[in-house]
Chain A
Amino acid sequence: MKWLINHWEDVLIALGEHVAIALTALVIASVVSLAIGIWAAKNDRVYRVALAVSGFLYTIPTLAFLALLIPVVGLGKTNAIICMVAFSLMILIRNVATGIREVPEEVTDAARGMGMRAAEVLFRVELPLALPVIVAGLRIAAVTVISVTVVGAYVNAGGLGTLIFSGMSNDFAPKIWTGAITACALAVAADLSLARLETRLKARAV
């Protein structure tokens, strides 16, 4: 506790860094997945290939993935962010594609009948209706990314993992406690707030 009172600024900086890295990865992953997911929703072959490849990436152990990237991109934030994007792809692509596929055909038919072009149907009908499912994927991805960021500290990406690793190497428990508990709290907070958004979107859709 005494350590925390004297070093709360360090903890805040680590927390800020953690959120920044996780958000960067999440934004990149969302953009990529949205593009692939939309394509996959319209094309069965793309769907199968995209899920097989991203599923393969998802199964690789975090630390092994970070390690395998070292010969390619070296240490640092880039390494961790690539790893996190790769991990989130499976969940996000799957949910974007499923969300769009679940939109009833009558609805898209009606939209087309009203004279909407394909792009209009996608952006004004399919994506808005798929939003709750997409947000559900975003929620799992956010938790995954926050979790990977903790390990990312080992390849010098920064964040809350730095506190854990430095606590471990100096055998200093308060630092480990602070880093680990803050990381857990961050993951739970992200999960709960996205869950709330998800239910709100679902309620609006009905």
Chain B
Amino acid sequence: MFIEAWDYLAGHQAQFLAALWRHVALSASALVIAATIAVPLGVRLADSHGAALVAINAANIGRTLPSLAVLALVMPIMGTGFAPSLFALTLLALPPILINTYAAIRQVDPDIVDAARGMGMTALEIVRKVKLPIGLPVMFAGIRTAAVQVVSGAVLAAYIGGGGLGDFITAGIAMMALPQLLVGAIPATLLSLGTDALFASIQRALTPAGLRAR
């Protein structure tokens, strides 16, 4: 069966590489857009009480929604293709990044912030030089969760015409063609595991030496 899968892969190299590239492009774009929105928002929310309560509760609800349901809900509104898939995956990536950024900034010791202010730092400097470096490990843990979720979710994007490795899986299941199914499922699994490992090592590298667990 694996030999057949390998043969299938060899015969459909161009198609496979295109799907793999699309999978990565879709996931990476969704993650970058979500981080661009959620990180500044999380930093801002950490200082405001009323808005934070609403946003964090909304994010907590958003996190429980089934990925496929979110993708499916986007389809009747935006149709099928790359853009609707990107939109749905961005929505899925937002809650973990927002929740962790908020938590990361909130856990910064107020005394440290006070000291920074006493040294004459402006609000922006405090965020850039104090809050973000200290909060980075927790914040990045959220980005890692979101990354794995997006790569997994991108497999499901095949249902709404998003392309990617899910195309091989859905076609393989529909025709009960096992080699084709494996050509989608195995690389998708490796991609997800690789993403997790990659982000784990970045997370370790980003953690300031003083905060690293020994």
Q: Which residues of A are in contact with B by a Cβ distance under 8 Å?
A: 56, 59-65, 67-68, 70-71, 143, 146-147, 150-151, 154-155, 161, 164-165, 167-168, 173, 176-177, 179-181, 183-184, 187-188, 190-191
Contacts and interface: CB of A to CB of B under 8 A. Distances in A.
Contact of A147 (B66, B165, B166): B66
Interface string B71-85: 011011000000000
A160 B155 CA distance: 19
Contacts of B76: 173, 176-177
Given A155-B173, A176-B73, A180-B72, A59 B66 contact: no
Contacts of A176: 72-73, 75-76
A60 B67 CA distance: 14
B1 interface: yes
A181 B74 CA distance: 12
B69 A64 contact: no
B181 interface: yes
Interface string B182-204: 10111011001100100000000
A180 B73 contact: yes
Contacts of A56: 193
Say what secondary structure dominates the interface of chain A. Answer: helix
B152 interface: yes
B91 to A, nearest CB: 12
A188 B61 CA distance: 6
A64 B64 contact: no
B188 A143 contact: no
A150 B155 contact: no
Given A168-B72, A184-B69, A68 B156 contact: no
Contacts of A177: 73, 76
A59 B193 contact: yes
B141 to A, nearest CB: 14
A168 B192 CA distance: 26
Contacts of B67: 62, 147, 151
Most interface-central of B76, B184, B193 (chain A CB within 10 A) = B76
Given A63-B155, A63-B169, A176-B73, A151 B64 contact: no
A41 to B, nearest CB: 20
A73 to B, nearest CB: 13
Say what secondary structure dominates the interface of chain B. Answer: helix
A143 B64 contact: yes
Interface size class of B (residues with CB under 8 A): 35 or more
A67 B169 contact: yes
Given A61-B151, A63-B156, A68-B186, 7 more contacts: A61-B152, A61-B192, A63-B166, A64-B155, A180-B73, A181-B73, A188-B61
B173 A67 contact: yes
A65 to B, nearest CB: 8
B192 A60 contact: yes
A181 B192 CA distance: 27
Most interface-central of B60, B66, B182 (chain A CB within 10 A) = B66
B192 A59 contact: yes
B133 interface: no
A61 B178 contact: no
Contacts of B61: 188, 191
B181 A187 contact: no
B98 interface: no
Contacts of A155: 173
